[in-house]
């Protein structure tokens, strides 16, 4: 039986329209997660919800305890994760306002605790392992998101390569040009090591990326937080609608 968790990113610290039943505070061998995990009931079924950046939003991407977040969800028996990421758009496949369901990523981060294959925590669950990461995102969840998005007539992009950068600064125009040459369509700061850690624990994982701005050098004007917030406010309504319908499809 599937047990679904939603990891909310920038702009999605709470899940609107959900009925709250329980707040769960957990500890893990890797420390505490970003915050309490909320047990929610949507119109389409029960889910768990974790705000990646904390409540309130105060954890920058490079200081999130990704190991603790994913391990806490594992402790709760989560089988499927739908992650929400706010990203910049690099190519024509990722216009501002688009909901992209990436199928690939390239990891440009550094210094993050990126695996459970380590000795210092004495976690009995894991030994050294070499996961197959050819396809980082789960196809069944991706296909459910895509089909529901198309049925709802949302601005869905059914593929894309996500460049994961260190942050918290935004990228230079030269860096974005490099990522485009590397084949990336999206740029964000939080998909790794989250995706790989979920795979190490056998949790199926997919991402909904809301494109909130053109990446550096891709627009004629400076990127402002005011412009980003306007797109986030509208786009997250579409994201929550999409996830609600997808949860129903996955439970079917």
53 marked among binding-site residues: yes
Q: Which residues constitute the domain of residue 167?
A: 4-251
- What pLDDT score does 56 carry? 83
φ/ψ of residue 151, rounded to 5: -65, -35
- What pLDDT score does 225 carry? 76
Q: Is the pLDDT of residue 221 over 80?
A: no
Interval 100-120: pLDDT, tens: 999 999 999 999 999 988 655
> Helix, strand, or coil here: 183?
coil
- What pLDDT score does 21 carry? 83
214 marked among binding-site residues: yes
189 marked among binding-site residues: yes
CA atoms within 13 A on the CB side of 61: 21
Q: Is the pLDDT of residue 121 over 60?
A: no
Measured distance CA(24)–CA(9) in Å, rounded: 19
- What pLDDT score does 127 carry? 66
Q: Is the pLDDT of residue 139 over 80?
A: yes
138 marked among binding-site residues: no
Q: Model confidence at 202, in pLDDT bands (50, 70, 90)? A: very high
52 marked among binding-site residues: yes
Burial of 44 (0-12, 13-18, 19+ CB in 10 A): middle
19 marked among binding-site residues: no
Average pLDDT along the chain: 92
Query: What's the distance, Cα to Cα, between the start and end of the chain in Å?
Result: 10
Interval 44-96: pLDDT, tens: 789 999 999 998 888 999 999 999 999 999 999 999 999 999 999 999 999 99
- What pLDDT score does 119 carry? 59
Q: What is the mean pLDDT of residues 132-155?
A: 97
Give the CATH number, domain containing residue 155: 3.40.50.1580
Q: Is the pLDDT of residue 213 over 70?
A: yes
Q: What is the mean pLDDT of residues 116-141?
A: 79
190 marked among binding-site residues: yes
Q: What is the mean pLDDT of residues 137-160?
A: 98
85 marked among binding-site residues: no
Q: Which of 28-37, 88-97, 103-112, 219-228 has the lowest mean pLDDT?
A: 219-228
How many domains in the chain?
Answer: 1
- What pLDDT score does 229 carry? 84
């Amino acid at each position: 039986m599937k047990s679904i968790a939603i990891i909310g990113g920038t702009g999605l610290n709470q899940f609107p329209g959900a009925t709250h039943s329980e707040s769960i505070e957990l500890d893990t061998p890797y420390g505490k997660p970003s915050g309490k995990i909320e047990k929610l009931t949507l119109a389409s079924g029960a889910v768990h919800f974790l705000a990646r950046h904390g409540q309130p939003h105060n954890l920058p991407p490079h200081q999130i305890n990704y190991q603790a977040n994913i391990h806490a969800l594992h402790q709760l028996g989560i089988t499927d994760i739908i992650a929400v990421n706010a990203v910049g758009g690099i190519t024509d496949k990722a216009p501002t306002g688009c909901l992209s369901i990436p199928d690939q990523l390239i990891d440009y981060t550094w210094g993050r605790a990126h695996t459970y294959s380590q000795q210092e925590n004495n976690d009995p669950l894991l030994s050294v392992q070499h996961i197959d990461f050819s396809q980082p995102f789960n196809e069944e969840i991706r296909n459910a998101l895509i089909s529901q998005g198309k049925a709802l007539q949302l601005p869905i992009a059914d593929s894309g390569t996500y460049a994961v950068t260190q942050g918290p600064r935004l990228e230079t125009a030269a860096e974005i040009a490099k990522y485009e040459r590397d084949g990336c369509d999206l740029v964000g700061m939080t998909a790794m090591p989250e995706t790989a850690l979920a795979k190490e624990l056998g949790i199926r994982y997919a991402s909904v990326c809301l494109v909130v701005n053109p990446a550096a050098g891709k627009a004629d004007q400076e990127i402002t937080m005011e412009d980003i917030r306007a797109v986030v406010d509208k786009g997250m309504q579409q994201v929550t609608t999409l996830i609600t319908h997808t949860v129903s499809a996955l439970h079917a």
